[in-house]
Structure 1
Amino acid sequence: MLLNTLAALCLAVLPAAPGSPALTPATIDGYIAQYREATGLPGVAVTVTKGKEVIHAAGYGRTATGDPVTADTPMALASVSKSFTSLAVLQLVEKGQVKLDKPVHGYLPEFQLADPRAAGITVRQLLDQTSGMADSAFREKSLPQPDSLQDAVARLRDARLATAPGTAYSYHNTNYQVAARLVEVVSGEPFAAYLKAHVFTPLGLRHSSTIDTDRDLPGSARGHLYILGQAIAVPEPPGFGNGSGGVLSSASDMARWLIAQNNGILSPASVKEMRTPSAQNPDYALGWELDKTARGTPVLRHGGDLFTSTAQQLLIPGSGYGVAVMANTGMAFADSAALMDGLVALIEGRQPDAPSSPFLATDLVFALLTLATVALAARGVARSRRWAARRTGRQRWRLLPYLLPIVLCTAIAPVFRVLARGRDIMWIQVVYLYPTFMIWLVTAAAAGLAVVVARLWRGAAQ
């Protein structure tokens, strides 16, 4: 009943909002236009609210399929979805069906790990990311991906914990997939149906939904990579995201969502729980991060990263402002975060940082290296007969350096895990993060193999 009343209030204020003297729809439009012109950002959806008013909700540019981005275009929220999952769990807490500090296993018997310590993981520890589950102990991205929340929990049966529950913070998507499955089992509804019935519909979120995998992304929510400064539409790499990153939403819906955060979406006690961080990480609460603006103003926020799109949401409790941004370029380029920072600067009366071009000198370097590698490989293959004539069998060890790019190519994911302090990744995802480097590396691996095969073949023919 409370949510239905809130939805009516939200809908009543959506059509018009005066904005503040310092921040108007025209100001926002001008800033977004400047940013897109400087960066080539293909498409973005933006909303800014204050109190119960919508200052602006709009779409700019085009989707990956070429359609205009409007205020009602569903786009990927990625990990911003975690605040929706947290809300769903806290709704069950308010109904007395779940207690935050009780073990998950009591509500979700199928939640079983190979580590006996997992029996002590509480619902709160899932939401504040202190369960002890971590990429370093369970490689959620590089393992075969599940098709459902039930499968996502089932694949944990061979997993172990990185730390004892409640002793350390580790951002791990599986925490929220387990939480979403808990919502399914306790409520008796599929997670997508639960969100629609208890969150989306009551709040008037007409263009929002949640999906399971990359295969379920609609055209409007697909994204791009920048290659040599140009945005290229590409499919999202394989991945499962429901509960942790599966929500799709629009600028108009996110306006309602942000307004609802300060207007009775939960009881004051539950809102306090949602915004209270753990002792292990004072900056992460239950699906929300605690942060400060450049001016030192306390904010609540959460970002979301896919490999082809990103999203951000932010609340400034002191002034009542809310901001959401969904950009259809990937995590390597951080367009939504840059736009969020710029909009916050406008709210605070500051000048946003000048946007920078996505064209990187390193991209040009690797493009030139790729061309040079192809040319050198062609030369090496063409001269293979001459090389074989000058070398005896004992000297063929000199071909080994040509195979080094193959070794690096096959080991790139483990190398990344080391450099990223244990964060998991699959091979194709490295390609999305560093496209020009990986194009060169794959080319170098193929070129080296071609030269080795040609020279050995010529040597055998001598």
Structure 2
Amino acid sequence: MSELGDIHHWLRERLPALLVEHKVPAAAVAVSVGGDVIDVAAGVLSRATGVEATTDSVFQIGSITKVWTATLVMQLADEGKLDLDAPVRRYVPEFVIADGDAAAAITVRQLLSHTAGFEGDVFTDTGKGDDCVEKYVATLGDTPQLFAPGAMFSYNNAGYCVLGRVVEVLRGKPFDACVREHLFGPLGLTHAANGADEAILFRAAVGHIQPAPDADPVAAPVWALARSNAPAGSMLTMRVRDLLAFGRMHLDGGKAADGTQVLSADAVAQMQRPEVTLPALGLMGDAWGLGWEVFDWPGGTVIGHDGNTIGQAAMLRLVPGRDVAVALVSNGGNPFALYTAIFTRILRDLAGVELPPLPAPPEVPETVDVERYLGTYRCDVAELVVERDGDGRLWLEQRPRGLMAQLGGQVERTELVHLSTDRFVPLKATLGVHLPHVFVGDDGTGHALYIHSGRAIRRVAN
């Protein structure tokens, strides 16, 4: 039996037990080596209905959509209709944020690489009409600038909605039509949808949430986020094999399975080239390209992206040097533990790549002076208060704001322990993960200017 055949057998045998172990209602996995593809599914699409998952079931892919949006932008660059280094306002003159100079300077490339510098977790619902992305961009006028364009990385959902509007303007049609005509069609996808109205035509997964940290997942009361955030990841839904087909196109020099040239080989290479180095976060990529995360892992470079929506999660990893692609879609529970168990085995056996160990608190944390880190940091969806207790220990209290508060987010308080330099991790894991927090910059008084866990959240008080 081939190595891929061994993996297929292992997934069929092991996936159901992994779902139970990690409280995941359903998942599907697809793997390819060259032109050979296998896929496996298990579990139930909704615990409310008991409908079983199949390999043709569709799941939301969340923020993996950003790579699709980036691909649409790069197609326009291929056609000579767009310059990556031109200001965004060349294509969307109405793009306005709180900092006028920054708005005039921000380039398409900076949006693609999450280096534009304005606050990115903006989830304004501007309705379900074809003009919702246009209306969304018009709401960004008060969005604060966190740092100078191009100065550093901070994950930016709003920036990708602006990119979606760039695509709409240059194509003269709504974003979902651009996805359908320029990606679904050329890639030959048969089980892919833009939102609930299309997803209902297929065997569709429902997201699941946990009402309490140790509770069993239950079907979420809301299926998707707002359509206005579609270019950032609120709508795209597909079966795992179709997600893998998109990934394979990026491994095959921009060619679809039938040979259609969806994207130029040069654009594919540009997207995978690191544009900005990230803080030592441990869970995200070591660098970011034009849409793709870039992981420098033992055994080789891996590119990928993850996605999370309301109770659904997806992961996509490509190993260009080994011609291997792996995709996972799921609908609740602990998807990261499931990802670790599956991708560790597959990438090791098929690509010779090792997933690095997850960040974890040291057995005996080092005692450090924490004065530099104390204070309040705030963004649109959360307020983070960093405090020192009477014993000198560091605590992080996260208070939901905006959309996160509306969705029922709870105040969470956790002790932070020192990992290295300005890097700390929670003593208690969330869904098995100790998410690193890196304190970055200086506010001029000796205090950190940002707390960074993928997003740079700016200090507002000492």
Written as runs of structure 1 = structure 2, the 5 A alignment for 1:61-140 is 61-64=43-46, 65-116=49-100, 117-135=102-120, 140=122
8 Å Cα contact 1:308-1:328 kept in structure 2 = yes
Q: 1:146 is matched with which residue: 108, 123, 126?
A: 126
Q: 1:230 is matched with which residue: 205, 213, 216?
A: 216
- Per-residue deviation, 1:277: 2.0
- Per-residue deviation, 1:101: 0.4
Structure 2 residue aligned with 1:460? none
CA distance in 2, matches of 1:305, 1:419: 23
CA distance in 1, matches of 2:219, 2:144: 38
CA distance in 2, matches of 1:196, 1:145: 22
Written as runs of structure 1 = structure 2, the 5 A alignment for 1:360-379 is none
Whether 1:192 and 2:176 are equivalent positions in the alignment is: yes
8 Å Cα contact 1:125-1:166 kept in structure 2 = yes
Written as runs of structure 1 = structure 2, the 5 A alignment for 1:2-81 is 20=3, 23-54=6-37, 56-64=38-46, 65-81=49-65
Structure 1 residue aligned with 2:314? 311
Written as runs of structure 1 = structure 2, the 5 A alignment for 1:382-461 is 413-415=382-384, 419=397, 426-429=404-407, 431=409
The one-letter amino acid of 2:116's match is S
Q: Structure 1 stretches of 5 or more lacking a match?
A: 1-17, 354-411, 435-462
Higher helix share: 1
Structure 2 residue aligned with 1:253? 242
The one-letter amino acid of 1:414's match is E
8 Å Cα contact 1:76-1:248 kept in structure 2 = yes
CA distance in 2, matches of 1:331, 1:72: 22
CA distance in 1, matches of 2:17, 2:269: 38
- Per-residue deviation, 1:57: 1.6
CA distance in 1, matches of 2:293, 2:87: 24
- Per-residue deviation, 1:192: 0.7
The one-letter amino acid of 1:207's match is H
- Give a deviation string over 1:205-254, Cα, whole Å, max 9, x none: 1111233xx89875824211245452211224873330111311112212
CA distance in 1, matches of 2:184, 2:217: 32
8 Å Cα contact 1:305-1:311 kept in structure 2 = yes
Matched residue SS, 2:83: coil
- Per-residue deviation, 1:326: 0.5
- Per-residue deviation, 1:59: 2.1
- Per-residue deviation, 1:338: 4.8
- Give a deviation string over 1:53-92, Cα, whole Å, max 9, x none: 21x1232111124322122211010111111001000000
CA distance in 2, matches of 1:83, 1:69: 26
Change (3 A) 1:41 1:129: same
- Per-residue deviation, 1:191: 0.9
8 Å Cα contact 2:299-2:354 kept in structure 1 = no
Written as runs of structure 1 = structure 2, the 5 A alignment for 1:163-242 is 163-211=147-195, 218=200, 220-226=204-210, 227=212, 228-236=214-222, 239-240=225-226, 241-242=229-230
- Per-residue deviation, 1:341: 3.6
CA RMSD in angstroms comes to 3.3
Q: Mean Cα displacement is larger for which, 422-431 or 105-114?
A: 422-431
8 Å Cα contact 1:59-1:251 kept in structure 2 = no
Matched residue SS, 2:237: strand
- Give a deviation string over 1:377-412, Cα, whole Å, max 9, x none: xxxxxxxxxxxxxxxxxxxxxxxxxxxxxxxxxxx9
CA distance in 2, matches of 1:216, 1:155: 27
CA distance in 1, matches of 2:250, 2:150: 27
Change (3 A) 1:224 1:216: farther
- Give a deviation string over 1:133-169, Cα, whole Å, max 9, x none: 124xxx514xx43332112201112223111111121
Higher strand share: 2
CA distance in 1, matches of 2:109, 2:336: 32
Structure 1 residue aligned with 2:146? 162
CA distance in 1, matches of 2:247, 2:34: 9
8 Å Cα contact 2:382-2:400 kept in structure 1 = no
The one-letter amino acid of 1:124's match is R
Matched residue SS, 1:161: coil
CA distance in 2, matches of 1:109, 1:338: 47
The one-letter amino acid of 2:303's match is L
The one-letter amino acid of 2:383's match is P
Change (3 A) 1:34 1:94: same
Change (3 A) 1:150 1:433: farther
**Please, what TM-score do these two structures have when normalized by structure 1?**
0.68
CA distance in 1, matches of 2:158, 2:341: 27
Q: 2:302 is matched with which residue: 286, 299, 304?
A: 299
Structure 2 residue aligned with 1:453? none
CA distance in 1, matches of 2:215, 2:326: 27
Structure 2 residue aligned with 1:458? none
The one-letter amino acid of 1:287's match is G
8 Å Cα contact 1:23-1:346 kept in structure 2 = no
Which structure's CA Rg is the greater one?
1
Structure 2 residue aligned with 1:275? 272
8 Å Cα contact 2:385-2:397 kept in structure 1 = yes
CA distance in 2, matches of 1:433, 1:46: 34
8 Å Cα contact 1:129-1:169 kept in structure 2 = yes
CA distance in 1, matches of 2:403, 2:98: 22
Matched residue SS, 1:260: helix
- Per-residue deviation, 1:256: 1.8
The one-letter amino acid of 1:202's match is P
- Give a deviation string over 1:274-306, Cα, whole Å, max 9, x none: 01222454611111111144x442100111112
Matched residue SS, 1:230: coil
Change (3 A) 1:21 1:127: closer
Matched residue SS, 2:10: helix
| Larger RCO (CA within 8 A; separation ≥ 6) | 1
Structure 1 residue aligned with 2:294? 290
8 Å Cα contact 2:314-2:327 kept in structure 1 = yes
Matched residue SS, 1:243: helix
Structure 1 residue aligned with 2:456? none
CA distance in 2, matches of 1:263, 1:433: 46
8 Å Cα contact 1:307-1:330 kept in structure 2 = no
- Give a deviation string over 1:99-120, Cα, whole Å, max 9, x none: 1000110011121223112111
